[in-house]
Amino acid sequence: MISMVAIIMLLVLYTVSIYTDIKYKLIKNIVTMPTILVGIFLLSYQHGLFNGIRLFGIGLILGLLLEMFRIWASGDTKLFVAGGLLTIAIMGVADFSILFYLLAFNLFLYLIIGHVYTLSISKFNFREYRNRLRSNQRIGQIAGAIPIFISNFIVLGVYFLFSLLMG
């Protein structure tokens, strides 16, 4: 039951967030904030209030670190936290390391997409590509909801694949 609610919420969260991030370059609080509260509630119901709040706090700190290093904006942090809490609820485990996996896949996607984009606007001329990297310009911009969405489903896919393989 909890997993089904979390799956439905996750799909609605990402559908709306990707649309608004692409169209308006904004992830709406009206979607992320209630989803965070539902995520905390679901985790608290599954694993106790302390674990629900602890997972929220760890996700928030990780998201704020990326904001501090100007990798993403505050809407992306809220989306990361909301998606992370629901992902953990779907998995049914109170393991904070899942948030680190989500973050790692997300950063990897940002790097790959940013460099592929920079290489493509450099017309695959490696000298121009290197000059663009050295110029301290922003080297690629993508709606943050997309890599956050992809990283969530990679983590879920890997988790369920290993669950099937391990029995």
Q: Which tens digits make up the pLDDT trace of 139-159?
A: 556 778 988 999 998 999 999
Q: Tell me: the pLDDT tens digits for 104-113?
A: 888 888 778 7
Are the CB atoms for 86 and 13 separated by under 8 Å? Answer: yes
**Tens digits of residue pLDDT in 51-96:** 999 999 999 999 999 889 888 889 999 999 999 999 999 999 888 8
Structure tokens at 46: 């599954």
- pTM for this structure? 0.86
- Per residue, the 3-state secondary structure of the chain, as one string, reads CHHHHHHHHHHHHHHHHHHHHHHHCCCCHHHHHHHHHHHHHHHHHHHCHHHHHHHHHHHHHHHHHHHHCCCCCHHHHHHHHHHHHHHHHHHCCCCCHHHHHHHHHHHHHHHHHHHHHHHHHCCCCHHHHHHHHHCCCCCCCCCCHHHHHHHHHHHHHHHHHHHHHHC
Residue extents of the structural domains in the chain: 2-166
